[in-house]
């Protein structure tokens, strides 16, 4: 960097120049930071022939016409500055005019400059013979680049003003080629048609159109010509990031603990930054800001957090920031991963089975954690914070409690070690001990049903490889009995295949009996889950109707009714207001219309409710509620009619399903 600074100073020192110089670099690579912190002060400290230069910096971002550039230079150079603005700048130790002052609609009037109410020619009002001009963000201007460079050329060639242009030539080239592309394509196609070129099959049509566009509209050639005339030297800005990172860390001087932590781990920051494959320091700056929040909250609530965990949090914050903000992945890539345990399970399955579905996660881990040993490598609360800008305290505390309980793998329960890390990482002398521990945990029935099934996949694999002294038949006896115990306190699992794939074990025929038994128990758990869900929903009638509507809306495609009692449904409905009876009826009909196949199993329940309603209304004096209940019954009949003459017709013919109020 010092060589580049010196080259720029040599240009400024030269007695006579009729060219500008260009600093070219990627977006976010720190070009503007380099100007402000390395170049600007060095130029202004020069003394040449008794004369000192001052610098004028202008961002062309958003500039929509050439007059705006003249106006900006005028604002920076005029000696007729408003006294109040000058006083404000001096009191705030500002050398540059604040941006708010540059946004006035009539800057000349603001400074007291008028020209008989005519439009001001700003170029007549500024002197730049002792100035060095710096134009930044050339590629982000809303004016034709060729026009801007022609404008700048007036300063350089005619007035010999030292001028530095900062830009990203890669983006500039893309912008030049892609501007008005639809119009260019239309005209190129029209010309080819007139020339008879569309009928020829000598080249692909896309290639012919592209060549015609380049021939007719090749602004790139114009750019090359004027650049050759205007730009004497182009310097590629490829910074050494250590000094920039030092500058970024100075932002945290008010938090000495954080700044010291970051300084001590500069190499970690740099290596993670390099692994991101980008040179965007702007994203790094945002990532460090995010980590400052993480660091602050972790130390406030969990002050004894291990250094290794904080180091991993730093890597993860920077890594996820680059993956999401640099556009390398969509924000949704990490959403489905809820915990470090699930993250590690995905790694196991991708490595053992070469599962390409999880290829990205494997690459992410291999890239950012290469040669960095850490058992806890995924932090859900950080991922949520980077992705949504919301610091989820619930997710934070869940992660931290899990870290406290699992960060030391020697203290991890044996079954968790098998489920969350490659089994070959366990040493030979520890393996028998862990196997015995897992067997005891399985027999106790305290594990989840799905965990026992996954563990059987491991143990059957170990048995086939003669790593354990248990036969398949012995294992089945132990695990099937344990599954019966575990099902009492387990929850329904709707993704057995996915869960088994995460073990990374090749599931053989010995799993058939275990999987069959799992489905039997899991079906009972499903029934229990829906029964509890239905009870939780319908108990809101009639006292908490708003809550009922919200909860029921979440289950529009779930067959929860066949897990509920028809008479209880009848009682709830009759206790509701007439208005709510209508709304409940409309929701029922609507859900069946939208999810006919998914809700077919509820047909027997609908028949029961209709029968009970009909029995209740029979012989009753006519009133509004009775009319509403009869209409309710008629609409239930409309639901039943949906299933006539369909594959579900058999559900309508079973008379054993029909009950009356007396039966109930």
Contact 314, 269 (CB under 8 A): yes
**DSSP label at residue 339:** S
Out of 373-387, 410-424, 588-602, 644-658, which region has the weakest mean confidence (pLDDT)?
644-658
Is the confidence at residue 100, as pLDDT, over 50? no
Is the confidence at residue 660, as pLDDT, over 50? no
Q: Average of pLDDT values for 417-425? A: 74
Residue 519's pLDDT band, with cuts at 50, 70 and 90, is very high
Is the confidence at residue 79, as pLDDT, over 50? no
Tens-digit pLDDT profile for residues 541-570: 989 999 999 999 888 888 888 888 889 989
Q: Helices 472-486 and 449-464 meet at what angle, rounded to 10?
A: 170
Contact 492, 416 (CB under 8 A): no
Q: Average of pLDDT values for 383-391? A: 92
- Calpha distance 152→154 (Å, rounded): 5
Quote the pLDDT of residue 379: 95
Residue 119's pLDDT band, with cuts at 50, 70 and 90, is low
Nearest Cα neighbor of 483 from 530, 516, 529, 434 is 516
Nearest Cα neighbor of 312 from 414, 248, 400 is 400
Average pLDDT, the chain: 80
- Listed in sequence order, the residues at least 6 apart from 147 whose beta carbon sits closer than 8 Å to its beta carbon are 66
Q: Percent of the chain, pLDDT > 70? A: 79
Tens-digit pLDDT profile for residues 247-272: 778 888 888 899 999 988 888 898 89
Structure tokens at 535: 């009870």
Quote the pLDDT of residue 540: 92
Contact 333, 386 (CB under 8 A): no
Out of 328-332, 536-540, 619-623, which region has the weakest mean confidence (pLDDT)?
328-332
Structural element, H or E, at residue 547: helix 545-553
The model carries a pTM of 0.48
Contact 222, 179 (CB under 8 A): no
Residue 658's pLDDT band, with cuts at 50, 70 and 90, is very low
Structural element, H or E, at residue 632: helix 624-641
Cα torsion 346, 349, 354, 356: sign: negative
Cα torsion 378, 382, 386, 387: sign: positive
- Helix/strand number for the chain, H first, E second: 33, 7
21: exposed, middle or buried (C-beta count within 10 Å: 0-12, 13-18, 19+)? buried
User: If you average pLDDT over each of 252-256, 364-368, 420-424, which comes out highest?
Assistant: 364-368
Quote the pLDDT of residue 240: 64
Quote the pLDDT of residue 87: 56
Q: Average of pLDDT values for 110-114? A: 49
More confident: 225 or 112:
225
Structural element, H or E, at residue 236: strand 231-236
Quote the pLDDT of residue 245: 73
Tens-digit pLDDT profile for residues 199-245: 677 777 777 777 766 666 555 556 677 777 788 888 888 766 666 67
Structure tokens at 67: 């007059």
More confident: 95 or 467:
467
Q: How close are the terminal C-alpha atoms of the chain, in Å? A: 88
Quote the pLDDT of residue 657: 43
Quote the pLDDT of residue 554: 87
Is the confidence at residue 115, as pLDDT, over 80? no
Contact 261, 294 (CB under 8 A): no
- Calpha distance 565→534 (Å, rounded): 9
Quote the pLDDT of residue 66: 83
Structure tokens at 137: 């963000």
Q: Average of pLDDT values for 360-380? A: 87
Q: Percent of the chain, pLDDT > 90? A: 26
Quote the pLDDT of residue 468: 92
- Listed in sequence order, the residues at least 6 apart from 264 whose beta carbon sits closer than 8 Å to its beta carbon are none
More confident: 648 or 125:
648
- Calpha distance 453→466 (Å, rounded): 20
Residue 656's pLDDT band, with cuts at 50, 70 and 90, is very low
Spell out the SS3 assignment of 455-472.
Answer: HHHHHHHHHHCCCCCCCH
More confident: 146 or 190:
146
- Calpha distance 656→601 (Å, rounded): 15
- Overall size of the chain counted in residues: 664
Out of 226-240, 358-372, 572-586, which region has the weakest mean confidence (pLDDT)?
226-240
- Listed in sequence order, the residues at least 6 apart from 179 whose beta carbon sits closer than 8 Å to its beta carbon are 219
Query: What is the phi-psi region of residue 90: left when phi exceeds 0, alpha when psi lies from -120 to 50, beta otherwise?
Result: alpha
Contact 104, 110 (CB under 8 A): yes
- Calpha distance 485→443 (Å, rounded): 9
Contact 355, 501 (CB under 8 A): yes
Quote the pLDDT of residue 615: 92
Quote the pLDDT of residue 214: 65
- Calpha distance 586→594 (Å, rounded): 12
Is the confidence at residue 194, as pLDDT, over 50? yes
């Amino acid at each position: 960097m010092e060589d580049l600074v010196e080259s720029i100073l040599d240009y400024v020192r030269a007695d006579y120049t009729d060219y500008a110089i260009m600093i070219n670099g990627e977006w976010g690579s720190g070009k503007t930071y380099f100007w402000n912190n390395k170049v600007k002060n060095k130029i202004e400290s020069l003394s040449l022939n008794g004369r000192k230069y001052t610098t004028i910096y202008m961002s062309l971002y958003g500039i929509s016409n050439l007059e705006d550039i003249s106006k900006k230079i005028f604002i920076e150079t005029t000696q007729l500055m408003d006294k109040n603005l000058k006083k404000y700048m001096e009191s705030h130790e500002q050398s540059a005019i604040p941006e708010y002052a540059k946004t006035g609609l009539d800057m000349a009037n603001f400074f007291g400059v008028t020209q008989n109410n005519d439009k001001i020619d700003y170029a007549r009002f500024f002197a730049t013979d002792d100035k060095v001009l710096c134009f930044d963000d050339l590629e982000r201007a809303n004016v034709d680049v060729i026009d801007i460079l022609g404008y700048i050329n007036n300063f350089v060639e005619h007035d010999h003003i030292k001028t530095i242009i900062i830009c990203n030539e890669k983006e500039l080239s893309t912008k030049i080629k892609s501007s008005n592309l639809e119009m260019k394509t239309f005209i190129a196609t029209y010309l080819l048609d007139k020339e008879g070129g569309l009928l020829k099959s000598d080249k692909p049509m896309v290639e012919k159109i592209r060549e015609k566009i380049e021939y007719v509209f090749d602004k790139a050639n114009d750019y090359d010509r004027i650049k050759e005339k205007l730009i004497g030297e182009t310097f590629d800005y490829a910074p050494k990031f250590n000094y920039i990172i030092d500058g970024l860390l100075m932002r945290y001087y008010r938090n000495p603990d954080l700044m010291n932590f970051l300084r001590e781990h500069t190499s970690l920051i740099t290596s993670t930054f390099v692994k991101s494959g980008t040179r965007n320091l702007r994203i790094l700056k945002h990532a460090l800001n995010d980590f400052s929040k993480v660091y602050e909250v972790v130390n406030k609530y969990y002050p004894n957090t291990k250094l290794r965990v904080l180091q991993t949090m730093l890597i993860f914050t920077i890594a996820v920031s680059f993956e999401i903000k640099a556009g390398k992945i969509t924000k949704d890539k990490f959403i489905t991963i809820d915990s470090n345990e699930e993250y590690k399970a995905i790694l196991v399955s991708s490595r053992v089975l070469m599962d390409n579905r999880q290829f990205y996660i494997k690459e992410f881990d291999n890239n950012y954690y290469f040669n960095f040993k850490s058992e806890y490598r995924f932090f859900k609360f950080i991922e949520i914070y980077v992705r949504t800008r919301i610091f989820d305290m619930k997710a934070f505390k869940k992660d931290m409690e899990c870290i406290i309980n699992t960060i030391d793998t020697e203290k991890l329960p044996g079954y968790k070690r098998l489920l969350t890390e490659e089994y070959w990482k366990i040493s030979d002398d520890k393996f028998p001990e862990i196997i015995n521990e897992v067997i005891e945990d399985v027999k106790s029935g305290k594990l989840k049903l799905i965990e026992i099934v996954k563990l059987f996949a491991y143990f059957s694999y170990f048995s086939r490889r003669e790593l354990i002294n248990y036969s398949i038949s012995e294992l089945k006896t132990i695990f099937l009995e344990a599954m019966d115990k575990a099902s009492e306190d387990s929850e329904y699992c709707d993704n057995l295949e996915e869960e088994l794939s995460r073990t990374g074990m090749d599931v053989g025929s010995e799993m058939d009996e275990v999987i069959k038994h799992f489905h039997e128990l899991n079906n009972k758990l499903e029934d229990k889950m829906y029964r509890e869900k239905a009870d939780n929903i319908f108990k809101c009638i009639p006292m908490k109707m708003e809550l009922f509507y919200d909860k029921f809306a979440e289950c529009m495609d779930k067959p929860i009714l066949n897990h509920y009692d028809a008479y209880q449904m009848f009682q709830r409905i009759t206790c509701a207001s007439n208005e709510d009876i209508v709304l409940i009826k409309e929701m029922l009909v609507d859900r069946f219309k939208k999810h006919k196949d998914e809700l077919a199993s509820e047909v027997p329940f609908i028949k029961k409710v209709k029968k009970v309603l009909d029995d209740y209304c029979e012989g009753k004096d006519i009133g509004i509620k009775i009319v509403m209940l009869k209409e309710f019954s008629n609409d239930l009949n409309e639901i039943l009619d949906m299933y006539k003459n369909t594959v579900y017709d058999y559900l309508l013919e079973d008379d054993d399903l029909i009950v009356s109020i007396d039966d109930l």
